Chain A
Amino acid sequence: MADLLEMRNIHKVYPNGTKANQGVSFSVRQGEIHALVGENGAGKSTLMKILFGLESPTEGDIFYRGDKVVLKSPKDAIKYEIGMVHQHFMLVPSFTVAQNIVLGSEPTKGVLSDHQKAIAETQRLIQEFGLKVDPNAKVENISVGLKQRVEILKVLYRGARLIILDEPTAVLTPQETDELFQSLKKLVSQGYTIIFITHKLNEVMEISDRITVLRAGKTISTLITSETSKEEISRLMVGRDVLLRVEKQPAKPKETVLSLDEVSYVSETGKQVLNDISFQVRAGEIFGIAGVEGNGQTELIEVITGFRKNFKGRITFLSQDLAGKSIEEIRNIGIGHIPEDRQTRGACLTSSIKENLILDLYRDKSFRRGLFLNQKKINEHADKLIQEFDIRTQSRDTLAGALSGGNIQKIVVAREISKNPKLLIAAQPTRGVDIGSIEFIHKEIVKKRDEGAAVLLVSAELSEVMSLSDRIGVLYNGELAVILENSESLTEEEIGFYMLGVKKQEKRASAT
Chain B
Amino acid sequence: MLSSLWEQTINLTLFVILLRMMPPILLGALGGLMTDRAGVINIGIEGLMLVSAFTSVAAGSATGSWIIGMAAGVLAAMIVSYAMAFFSLKMNVDIIVTGFAVNIFGAGITVLMMSILYDSHGSYVPENPVSIPNVVIPFLDQIPFIGKLLSGHNLMVWVSILAVVFCYYLLYHTPYGTHLRATGEEPGAARSLGIPVVRIQYSALVWSGFFAGLAGSYLSMGMTSMFVRDMTAGTGFLALAVVIFGNRNPFGILAGSAVFALATAMTMIIETTPGNVIPSQFIKMVPYIVTIVALVVYAIRKHRKTLFT
> A–B direct touch, CB within 8 Å, in complex?
yes
Q: B192 near A113 (CB under 8 angstroms)?
A: no
Residues of A within 8 A of B185 (CB): 92-95
Residues of B within 8 A of A113 (CB): 173-175, 177-178
From A104, A112, A140, B193 is in contact (CB under 8 Å) with A104
When chains A and B are docked, how far (Å) is the Cα of A74 from the Cα of B177?
23
B67 → chain A closest CB, angstroms: 25
Residues of A within 8 A of B178 (CB): 95, 99, 103, 106, 113
B189 → chain A closest CB, angstroms: 4
How many A-B residue pairs lie within 8 Å, measured between CB atoms? Answer: 57
Sorting the interface of chain A by its residue count into under 10, 10 to 19, 20 to 34 or 35 or more gives 20 to 34
Residues of A within 8 A of B179 (CB): 103-104
Residues of A within 8 A of B181 (CB): 92, 94-95
Instruction: Answer whether residue B169 sits at the interface, using C-beta atoms and an 8 A cutoff.
Output: yes
Q: B175 near A90 (CB under 8 angstroms)?
A: no
When chains A and B are docked, how far (Å) is the Cα of A268 from the Cα of B178?
29
Instruction: Answer whether residue B194 sits at the interface, using C-beta atoms and an 8 A cutoff.
Output: yes
Chain B contact residues: over half helix, strand or loop, or mixed? helix
Residues of B within 8 A of A104 (CB): 179, 190, 193-195
Instruction: Answer whether residue A141 sits at the interface, using C-beta atoms and an 8 A cutoff.
Output: yes
B303 → chain A closest CB, angstroms: 12
Instruction: Answer whether residue A271 sits at the interface, using C-beta atoms and an 8 A cutoff.
Output: no
Sorting the interface of chain B by its residue count into under 10, 10 to 19, 20 to 34 or 35 or more gives 20 to 34
When chains A and B are docked, how far (Å) is the Cα of A112 from the Cα of B185?
21
Residues of A within 8 A of B188 (CB): 90
Residues of A within 8 A of B190 (CB): 92, 103-104
Residues of A within 8 A of B169 (CB): 112
- Nearest residue (CB) in B for A91 is B189
Residues of B within 8 A of A268 (CB): 307
Instruction: Answer whether residue B243 sits at the interface, using C-beta atoms and an 8 A cutoff.
Output: no
Instruction: Answer whether residue A111 sits at the interface, using C-beta atoms and an 8 A cutoff.
Output: yes
When chains A and B are docked, how far (Å) is the Cα of A113 from the Cα of B188?
22
When chains A and B are docked, how far (Å) is the Cα of A412 from the Cα of B236?
48
Residues of A within 8 A of B215 (CB): none
Q: B175 near A106 (CB under 8 angstroms)?
A: yes
Residues of A within 8 A of B307 (CB): 268
Instruction: Answer whether residue A132 sits at the interface, using C-beta atoms and an 8 A cutoff.
Output: no
18 sample A-B contacts, Cβ–Cβ < 8 Å, listed by A number? A90-B192, A92-B182, A92-B186, A92-B189, A93-B186, A95-B181, A95-B182, A95-B185, A103-B178, A104-B190, A104-B193, A106-B175, A106-B178, A108-B175, A113-B173, A113-B175, A140-B305, A268-B307
14 more contacts with CB within 8 A, not counting A103-B182, A104-B179, are: A92-B185, A93-B186, A95-B178, A95-B182, A103-B189, A103-B190, A103-B193, A104-B193, A104-B195, A111-B174, A112-B174, A113-B173, A115-B173, A142-B309
